[in-house]
Structure 1
Amino acid sequence: MAVGFFCLAYYIPRENFGLTFTVYASLFGGMLAIYFLSKQLKWKWIFIGGLLIRLSLLIAIPKWSDDYPRFLWDGELVKMSQNPYLETPEGWLQNHSESSSPYLENLFELMNSPAYFSVYPPLNQAIFYVAAWGANLDTKSGVLILRVILLLGEIGVFFLLRKLFEHFQLFSKKLILYWLNPLVIMEITGNLHFEGLVLLLLLASVFALSKNKNALSGGFWGLSIGMKLLPFMLIPTLFSFEKTRKSRTFWLGSFIAIAASFGWLLIDNSWVHFLQSLKLYQGKFEFNASIYYLLREVGFWVKGYNVIGELTPILSGITLMGILYFSWKKRPQNLLQLTDLWVLIYLVYLIFQPIVHPWYLIPAFGLSLFTDKKAFLIWTYAVIFSYQAYGDPNYQENPIFLFLEYSMLAIAIYWDYFRSSTKSLLAK
């Protein structure tokens, strides 16, 4: 497995989908083999094995994602005491040519979104600043610093999972499914995505709640929103859960954390450009979608053009109604039921999204290990089919691979959420 990860990180470009899929599938199979063949969990050896794999990727430049140049660019602007939300990279180079450098120009050339304002919250910007400060105008050093920060977060996730498995008296062997999962290793340590830190903060919130430290729990949840906005959609579940709904300290901790994370956007009206970027992101880009693609085809048939501008707000409304409905219907009575509801909320959200990047699955997948649901585990394998698009010169997605991915997910969702109810109906 270590050799496979090393090859994916250093030698196999994402454009070579055939080889990428073969190695990825082998790594996933290796993880499952270790899981099923391990009669007794030797968690120290599992931890060391997964850690050594991650350490072997330390100096790799991400091959599956080109987001990191924007991370380092924003960090450089913050280091220069400039606001990364006020100008696009294109505009900044035009207006501040005297402050530019070969390093910034190189990052600009590598960037995938030079015409857009930054979409990363201030808490992300703080991490970008640390990387820029330590990098000293060197891309490899910046990547290394980001990777070390994310790796420390992953270590925290491992030990929080272990503690929570013990607290809930669950099968701790499930640690293998996270710690050796190829999607987790490649997208967090390999490709420098921050969903691992989101999971860390959500787990910390659950752990604090289990210890009746409500203010701390609210703070961690608020910080998870500051890291990535998505955990904000969990707020209806926290109102439906009695322990958090009635806890003033929980909401006080949440407010302080959210205010500390987003208060910086009030400087120079940064929030205007930040929200503009979010709106553009939601209303313009498409990737690896499911229901959205089906409805888009209907739109082409009926109106003759891409109806993304009309579909996106409709699907967002459906998603919101789904979140409110399930939060009201489920009304969790304990922490395990709350995490189970969080997994369902993430599933509803991702099913209706026009953009589903593989790393979006990681927080929900980590939380799903506390439940009996297998959909996100299956999806961490099936999502590799989305990388087929990078093997096409025009980045065109092949409907066959999308069908394979979402057929596997549909079967898993049926197994998780509908099989028992179907059996009950047949019994009647």
Structure 2
Amino acid sequence: MFFNTAFFKLYKTPLLLAFASLLLYTSFAYDLVRTDYIKLVMLYVALFFLFYKLVQLLKGNIKFLTWLAFGFRAVFILAIPNLSQDFYRFIWDGRLLLEGFNPYLFTVESFIGNNEFPVAQAQELYNGMGALNAGHYTNYPPINQLCFVIAGLFSGESILGSVIVMRVLIIAADFGTLYFGKKLLEKLKIPTYHIFWYILNPFIIIELTGNLHFEGVMIFFLIWSLYLLHIGKWQWAAVVLGLSVSVKLIPLIFLPLFWQWFTKHNVISTAQIDEKSHSKNDEILKQVQHDEKKTPAFTGITKLNSFYVITSTTVILSFLPFYSSEFTTNYTETVALWFNNFEFNASLYYIARAIGYTFRGYNEIAVIGKITPIIVILLVLIFTFFRKNKTTIQLITAMLLVLSFYYFTATTVHPWYIATLLILSVFTKFKFPLVWSFVIILSYLAYLNVDKSDKSENLWIIALEYIIVYSVFIWEVFLKEKKRRFKRNLPFNG
């Protein structure tokens, strides 16, 4: 009794904040309709405030924060996602595979349109996912499909059962990210509590655990891979990175950035000889100088090429069971839709589209959607060859900035995309993804218009979101760094 009383006195404020968070998460999971915009925003803002205070108060108690992260996720276990309908397609793909069909070769519409019902609750799943989703081939890579199959295997013909299984997988991945994220932070001499800016973030809990987006599984493999790379196990890092790509394709954008890490990271310098050893052996110095001139560059390029081969082989092997000429066509066309057809919550693209409308007047995405990937590729190459990416922190920072620019120029930025930016920022000095994870809730208000018949996005709401994000981004990436350098160069006045 004394222990419990003492514990409560010591952690009275965090416990009250945690209890309030549990109540709000319960309301979010079981008593929220997506179109109830006022309640949606109020719950999210309150949860974000409580999250910030909890991390602030408990940063010295990792165990307590971990239990809170588990408890908040557990609230959602029996909830049907209320902000996304993608999970219906996940269930369809998993059940279709279990019935012996290749999900990459058939649209949902191709079955339902012919009054064919190849899986249990086919009509209900079709109605849930919507006609747009049902009309396209699946774009989810093989490891993602494996998760859908596992859900089908262990849930029978229950939609809620499938939801629970997928949710458990995503929660498990989050705690894998917590484990390897903490270890990597320790290696990088960064406070380990920083990982909770991701793990305990209501954005992550709601979008991944709540709405069943598998970015969490992709991120688990990505952070595991970066940890393995940092401790020198680059072969296994390549395998795990391949698994990450086989959940979501987005890590492919990072591949060129590894060039400097492999070719320059391991270069031995005479200045790096441990002075404490007092070694004056001329033979050792000569060997180091020889290695410095000849070995590292050759060895680094060899390792880099091997890294790429192992990663690509892992990805290819995962896709191999589904391969056919039809698969290649269907998959590439489906992925291309994100560049040439879909528009949602964009920023620079909407500005370019508005400019294009003034002299062309229509179908700007067909033009801009072909140009932006080229610009992104050029930026990746600039970061690869002209920015220092020798250390793990520099590499992760480059990943963060490149992916940020990609999303700034993208035609479609769904809320859950920001999860990757958020986890990368944990290992850097930048906090704009944390701010973005807060204001991203505005994207759910994008179709809120005074005129109810207007089904287009409310660009004022999107503008507010990006004004905040770009303001913090420009301050952190450009102005703050410039100010820091200016102060560093000031003469001593004391």
Count of residues paired in the alignment: 426
What's the TM-score once normalised by structure 1's chain length? 0.95
Matched, 1:47 2:66: yes
Deviation larger for 413-422 or 293-302: 413-422
The 5 Å alignment of 1:274-353 reads 274-353=331-410
- The answer to whether the 8 Å contact 1:205/1:216 transfers is yes
Partner of 1:62: helix, strand, or coil?
coil
Q: Which ranges of structure 2 fall in alignment gaps of 5 or more residues?
A: 1-20, 266-299
Equivalent residues of 2:224, 2:237 under 8 A apart: yes
Deviations 1:112-171 (A, max 9, x none): 311111111122111111111222111111111111111110111111111111111111
Tell me if structure 2 keeps the 8 A contact 1:299–1:306: no
**C-alpha RMSD of matched pairs (Å):** 1.9
Identify which of 217, 220, 223 aligns with 1:197: 217
Q: What TM-score comes out, normalization by structure 2 length?
A: 0.82
Moved more, 63-72 or 418-427: 418-427
* Cα offset, 1:354, TM superposition: 0.6
Moved more, 209-218 or 262-271: 262-271
Q: Is the 8 A contact 2:99 2:118 kept in 1?
A: no
**2:85 corresponds to:** 66
1:18-417 superposed matches below 5 A: 18-38=38-58, 40-95=59-114, 97=116, 99-100=117-118, 103-112=121-130, 113-242=133-262, 245-247=301-303, 249-267=306-324, 269-391=326-448, 395-417=455-477
CA contact (8 A) 2:34 2:40 kept: yes
Deviation at residue 395 of structure 1 after TM alignment: 4.6
In structure 2, give the amino acid aligned to 1:27: L
1:332 is paired with a residue of what secondary structure?
A: coil
Larger-gyration structure (1/2): 2
Percentage of identical aligned residues: 28
CA contact (8 A) 1:89 1:115 kept: yes
Cα contact 2:448–2:458 (8 A) shared by 1: no
CA contact (8 A) 1:323 1:348 kept: no
Distance in structure 2 (CA, Å) of the matches to 1:141 and 1:111:
17
- Higher mean alpha-carbon deviation, 28-37 vs 198-207, is at 28-37
The separation in 1 between residues aligned to 2:193 and 2:126, in whole angstroms, is: 44
Opposite residue 90 of structure 2, the aligned amino acid is F
The question of whether the paired residues in 2 share the 8 Å contact of 1:76 and 1:129 is answered with yes
- Deviation at residue 362 of structure 1 after TM alignment: 0.6
- Which deviates more from structure 2 when the two are superposed, residues 330-339 or residues 346-355? 330-339
Give the structure 2 partner of residue 2 of structure 1: 22
Q: How far apart are the structure 2 equivalents of 1:368 and 1:101? A: 41
- Offset at residue 303 of structure 1 (A): 1.4
**CA deviation after TM superposition for structure 1 residue 209, in Å:** 1.2
Deviations 1:304-356 (A, max 9, x none): 22311111011111111111112222131111111111111111110000100
CA contact (8 A) 2:107 2:136 kept: yes
Secondary structure at 1:87 match in 2: coil
Distance 2:208 2:47 in 1: 16
The SS at the match of 1:241 is: helix
Distance 2:421 2:119 in 1: 40
Is the 8 Å Cα contact of residues 215 and 252 (structure 1) preserved in structure 2? Answer: no
Q: Deviations over 1:277-316 (max 9, x none)?
A: 1112321111100000011111222112231111101111
Q: Is the Cα contact below 8 Å between 2:102 and 2:322 reproduced in 1?
A: no
User: Structure 2: which amino acid aligns with 1:409?
Assistant: V
Shift in alpha-carbon separation, 1:46–1:314, aligned structure 2, 3 A: same
Which structure ranks higher in relative contact order (CA pairs < 8 Å, sequence separation ≥ 6)?
Answer: 1
